[in-house]
Structure 1
Amino acid sequence: MSAHTPRPESPSGLIETDQRSREIFRQIVDGYLATGEPVGSRNIARLLPMALSPATVRNVMTDLELAGLIYAPHTSAGRLPTERGLRFFVDAMMEVGNLTSDERARIEAQMKAAATGRTLDGTLTEASALLSGLSRGAGVVVTTKANARLKHIEFVRLDPARALVVLVADDGTVENRLLALPPGLPASALTEAANFLNARIMGKTLGELRAEIAQHRAQMESELDSLTARLVESGIATASGPSSDRHLIVRGQANLLEDLKAQEDLERIRLLFGDLETQTDVIDLLSRAEAGDGVRIFIGSENKLFSMSGSSMVAAPFRDAEQRIVGVVGIIGPTRLNYARIVPMVDYTAKVVGRLLDGGR
């Protein structure tokens, strides 16, 4: 399994050709991911599989710093990886582990229990909470409401010029949309339009229903008068509008307040909370994870959303019964996320959610 992320140009040939450089760089990254603390040359010399003096380690660290892979925070003698270094590590050096059988069983059991007797939103909320609990980061899910399977539609007149479009999905969720009515529309047209749609709606998504009506436009125009036909088309267009497109669920933000080491950490988390409140930007970023089949990793200022908070996100798409991508699950946290552990966790959770959407197969 690998994280599907664009591979950067190599920062320097030294990492590919010099085993010493690779091992020293790996120790710095591993130390940072484990503790968040800078790693010094003496500690690295003790941990290396080959015998090197602290002075030799410092020389290599200087080369790594010149390559833009590590830096010295404040006046510390130790080094931390830069965001560029983390990206290089994730793309070129990270060994992604496998989940244990216990971890797989826990994800399966919690998600199946969540899906029993719950709406789709309830199931996805549990997926978000589950990822948060497993990672100690914030679990996030974004889904396309328009992919819900529909059960019933109703037009409810509010006044001569407006009506509500009421959509009932298979999972019991109800969506209301405000619809402008054509002038002079008789009350009977609302009932006729609803009956026409309900005869065709069962089990379809809005997109499928819209495509069917477009395909059988001549039949619709022969069965309905022109005003009612307009009502059918405008009702479907309103129900499929932007407000119904994306839905964001975030759980576990409080986890991000744990293990803060300095005042700047608290400021970083405050900025991240602000990012999470800007739902449109989070949804846009998660939607980028729909571009491929695998897990995507977004690190720090590589994207504008996390440019101030210095956070990372690991995300993977999930599919419905027709293998269409209908949403994304992920984890947001500090850049020192345990990527090797979280990548398979997010990947497996996305697959379990997909199977539940496919009737548990």
Structure 2
Amino acid sequence: MARQKELKLYRNIGIIAHIDAGKTTTTERVLYYTGRKHQIVDVHDTKDGKGSTTTDYMEQERKRGITIQSAAVSTEWKGYQVNVIDTPGHVDFTIEVNRSLRVLDGAVVVFDGVAGVEPQTETNWRLADQYNVPRLCYVNKMDRIGANFAHCVKGIRERLGANALLCQVPLGSNDEFCGMADLVAGLGYIWISDDKDSKWESVPLEDLRARLKFSSTVDNDWVDQLPKLRQDLLESALAMDDDAFERLLETGEHDPVMLKKCIRKGAISGKLVPVFCGSSYRNKGVQQLLDGVVDYLPYPGENGGISMVDADGKVIGEQEVRDDAPARALAFKVINDQFGTLTFCRVYSGVIKKGDTLLNVTR
């Protein structure tokens, strides 16, 4: 079947993390806010038999409240088609993450705001390095007691060796977590409630100090640091383009469209890793994360095509992502369910129609 949209309007992403960082909860919120689902089922409710999350559909997954098999689901956001793979976080199912990362164009790495970088996060990060997958970081659970955004960012930089670019910082933490400051847009987003359909108020960064008063000194310090953090973001991002960086140094001004292009260029090349924050369970920050996915992660083929090899396994060229090329796909997962055997494929080029016969080159 031919594509319904222009290639640039596709995003193939995976959600990867250590167990219990909130991958499946984040995926559920993504499906709700994109209109794919009309109600939210929380992971802890599945153990009580109150329903099943979309991607944790197996009985064992519902019973244990964990993801065992990676599952793919497709949805739309602002005219873009976003194909999401929710992967397991448990160390016993690392092979599922490995299979998924191999066919992804980009990934969202979810972190527990309290625990920070955990062992399986490191394993998944190295796998993503191996397959050259551009990433966004999402620091989740900022509403929990003990959540520490600075500690989590420090772990991303030191333990994962990533050049973390703070696109957002949280406003408050624990019970006082009310939203985030968007350093790219120069706005603070303040949620009115925890309700899933709650709207947020957009406040210029310079007005946040008068608008917010936190009991924690640390949280107040974050608000005071916002002008410096925004300047750091501008300098790090615009360094991706010589002309834009020169303009910033000479005039102190920048083009907002160029800023996003620079962040995108840095993210796709792996030189920058944009960092977002929120609380998926409290319905804060997921829409902004989706905006980050379409703004900063690559479309199919933007980060290069797939390598072609000869019978001895030597690379003999690269197949570009095009409809008018021979049909080439990679089968990355096979499952058996009530419908029989299902094979998941990532199509890299060409068009596959019903009734076509494909050659399995490995057999």
TM-score when normalising by structure 2: 0.20
Q: Which has the higher helix share?
A: 1
User: Relative contact order (alpha carbons < 8 A, sep ≥ 6): 1 or 2 greater?
Assistant: 1
Q: Which has the higher strand share?
A: 2
TM-score when normalising by structure 1: 0.20
